[in-house]
Amino acid sequence: QVHLVESGGGLVQAGGSLNLSCATSDPTFIIEVVGWFRQAPGKEREPVAYIRWNTNSGSYADSVKGRFIIFRDNAKNTVYLQMNNLHPEDTAVYYCAADRALLGFMSGRPNYWGQGTQVTVSS
């Protein structure tokens, strides 16, 4: 059974940074892609970034390109989202997500989800 556990959210001022962690448990080795979605109150859930588990390069939403970096530590089975130069509009609940195929993630409906972590950016 696949489990995702998130941490690292918090409150920062605009221009600050946070690092989110997604610890993965994948005993049957079925996960191909891990990434992040976010959802702000009153807004639709949107993808933020993803990475293939066995690579160390990520893909990003246009809104976060140049500011966020996704990377993995394979030894720790953990994926990180380093968020720099945060804006108030980045405020949202961030959800780690994973799927056994890239297509599942790209569809917007990955099979596995973390519990969410709150990111709040003040002006």
**CA 25 from centroid of its chain's CA atoms:** 16
At 59, is the pLDDT very low, low, confident or very high (cuts 50, 70, 90)?
very high
At 74, is the pLDDT very low, low, confident or very high (cuts 50, 70, 90)?
confident
Residue 74 has a CB neighbour count (10 Å cut-off) of 10
Partners of 7 in beta bridges: 21
Which one, of 15, 18, 35, 11, lies nearest residue 109 by Cα? 35
User: How far apart are alpha carbons 3 and 68 in whole angstroms?
Assistant: 24
Q: Mind giving me the DSSP string for 11-24?
A: EEETT--EEEEEEE
Sheet holding 3-7, edge to edge: 3-7, 18-25, 78-83, 68-73
pLDDT tens for each residue of 20-47: 999 999 877 778 899 999 999 999 999 9
